[in-house]
Amino acid sequence: MKAKILNLILFSLLYHISLAQKPRVFVLTDIENEPDDAMSYVRFLTYANQFDTEGIVATTSCWQRTKTAEWRLHEITEAYGKVRDNLEIHEKGYPTEAYMHSIIKKGLPVFGKEGLGEGKDSEGSEWLVQSILKNDARPLYIQAWGGTNVLAQALFKLQKIKKPAEIAQIVKKLRVYTISDQDDTGPWIRKNFPDLFYIVSPGYEENGGGQYHYATWSGISGDIFHGRFTGADTTIVRNRYLDQHVRQNHGPLGEKYPKIDFLMEGDSPSFMGLINNGLNSPENPDYGGWGGRYELYIPQFKKYMYEPETRPIWTDTQDEVYSDITKAYHTSNHATIWRWRKAFQNDFFARMDWCVAKNYKEANHPPVITLGHANTLIVKSGANVVLSGKATDPDNNEVSYNWFFYKEVGSITASRFTLRNPASQEISFTAPKVTEPKTMHFILEVTDNGTPNLTRYQRVIVNVTP
């Protein structure tokens, strides 16, 4: 029993330590295969101060097999340079335009495994090897917005130059999030590096009849291109709304945000879970956040997958979410993302405002939450538990509070558990009866009344013991 309690404490400490560090990021993108990569890169740059970005590599994919488009990355980065000083007024830490240009590289202009093996090194894969081997204790978050052959080749080379024990240590520091399988090297990577932390909705798309509309990441804009209604608000992810809040009157960077072709920003979930908003927990995909929620298991083989999975991966799971649009509950893997849609869209729109607001007072900024206790609590079954928090707003806006029990997270199955007076700064409840240590996750959500409304969070993990 003591061991279980100590493990709960250690796990919670590691969770909160991870929140305090700026994540190292490395992006692989098949930009120009369709507009959504360029859209995601614009959003990414508005959050560039949140990350230590070490590489951005133009790659191929199933839709762009024989060319890369690093020129487009440079073009958008040049526009970023024109608004970077404005962004810095509102939140510090934005990298320079020159730095961002310096880390843009390219992979081989070939598809999948054609770029894997002896003599297949590229500028991009060599840059990734260098980043992987950097003497930095922080994890490296590798995001694949397109194909993964640059990552596969980097791992292939490391196997040639490093001993097995060294490879094991290297793999421990890598965190991979791929937007489905956009070439055939993803399954190769997962099979050959079974201990690699890997988030993916496995499978590929072919002639519109494949996996993409089933994938968790499509919750970013509600799967609207398949005509299915998920319960999410789709108005804020459509061209008309994006014209108003991103493309028009928002400076050179907004002008580089293209019109939607198939889907708005299908790649953005890969980095949205790294944003320091008080909710996200990059080291714990099962905690849920702006990038979705995932669980670790071996998924059942489907006809749209390259091959059966041979080991557990972080992949699709479901949240049950109430929709203000339909006035009903919806349960899906997409809901693990779209439940936060208003908050993450407004947050992006505010940053686009920062691009043109040269005075701090001309734009809105997120509230800051301080809890009245630690983020991790240990309580006894039957005890009265009090949770409290207070928010301040840098723009002196009014704020509203909302506490909720994140029922899908943690180890207590309490789907009927409800909180009294959830709109209060302080709430209380009776800890459920347990026969062994269990965890419950509570989220304090605070939203200001500025324009646009901005939301921040605090997560409280309550460990309940017998």
Going by their DSSP bridges, the two strands 328-332 and 140-144 should be labelled as unpaired
High-pLDDT (> 90) share of the chain, %: 86
Q: What's the CATH number where 199 sits?
A: 3.90.245.10
The answer, yes or no, to whether the previous bond of 95 is cis (omega within 30 of 0) is: no
Instruction: Determine, yes or no, domain membership for 6.
Output: no
Domain stops at, among 293, 323, 354:
354
| Residue 10 within any structural domain of the chain | no
**Statement to judge: residues 375 and 270 lie in one domain:** no
Long-range contacts at 115-118 (CB < 8 A, ≥ 24 apart): 115/60, 115/149, 115/150, 115/152, 115/153, 115/185, 116/149, 116/152, 116/153, 116/156, 116/185, 116/188, 117/153, 117/156
Q: Does 166 reside within a domain?
A: yes
> Residue 225: what pLDDT?
39
* pTM, 2 dp: 0.94
Q: Is residue 31 part of a domain?
A: yes
- Total domains in the chain come to 2
Same domain, yes or no, for 38 and 124? yes
Are 293 and 377 in a shared domain? no
Mean pLDDT of 311-316: 98
**How many residues are recorded in the chain?**
466
- Cα dihedral: 277, 282, 288, 294 (round 10): 160
- Could you tell me if residue 2 is inside a domain? no
Which pLDDT band, with edges at 50, 70 and 90, does 326 fall under?
confident
345 and 374 in a single domain? The answer is no
Tokens at 228, concatenated: 């299915």
Same-domain check for residues 191 and 217: yes
* Exposure letters 188-215 (e unless 16+ CB within 10 A, then b): bbbeebeebbbbbbbbbbeeeebbbebb
Distance CA 360, CA 60 (A): 40
Residue 400 has phi, psi (to 5 degrees) of -120, 150
pLDDT in tens, 3-37: 555 555 555 555 444 456 899 999 999 999 999 99
- Residue 58 reports pLDDT greater than 60: yes
Last residue within a domain, chosen from 306, 325, 354: 354
Mean pLDDT, range 168-181, rounded to an integer: 98
CATH code, domain carrying 430: 2.60.40.10
Mean pLDDT of 178-198: 98
Confidence category of residue 325, pLDDT binned at 50, 70, 90:
confident
Which positions ≥6 away from 98 have C-beta within 8 Å?
81
Residue 229, pLDDT score:
66
pLDDT for the residue numbered 210? 65
Tokens of 41: 């890169």
Same domain, 281 and 419: no
Residue 17 included in any domain: no
Q: Do 259 and 387 lie in a common domain?
A: no
- Each residue's pLDDT tens digit, 374-405: 999 999 999 999 999 999 999 999 999 999 99
Comparing 24-38, 84-98, 197-211, 248-262, the range with the smallest average pLDDT is 197-211
**242 and 340 share one domain:** yes
pLDDT at 7: 53
Confidence class for position 450, pLDDT limits 50, 70, 90: very high
Give the pLDDT confidence of 94-136 residue by residue, as tens digits.
999 999 999 999 999 999 999 999 999 999 999 999 999 999 9
Are 124 and 151 in contact, with CB atoms under 8 Å apart? no
Same domain as 189, residue 241: yes
Same domain, 349 and 368: no
Q: How large is the average pLDDT for residues 425-452?
A: 96
Q: Are 47 and 80 in contact (CB under 8 A)?
A: no
Q: Which pLDDT score, from 0 to 100, does residue 79 have?
A: 98
Domain span including residue 119: 22-354
Model confidence pLDDT, tens digit, residues 209-231: 567 888 999 999 875 434 456 78
Last-in-domain residue among 299, 329, 354: 354
> Would you say 252 and 82 are in contact if contact means Cβ atoms under 8 Å apart?
yes
- pLDDT, residue 6, reads 53
Whether 271 and 404 share a structural domain: no
Flag whether 244 is in a domain: yes
Q: What is the mean pLDDT of the chain?
A: 93
Alpha helix (H) residue ranges in 138-279: 149-161, 164-172, 185-192, 239-242, 251-255, 269-272
**Looking at the structure, do residues 415 and 296 belong to the same domain, yes or no?**
no
16, part of any domain:
no
Question: What angle is formed at CA 5 by the lines to CA 284 and CA 465, rounded to 5 degrees?
Answer: 105
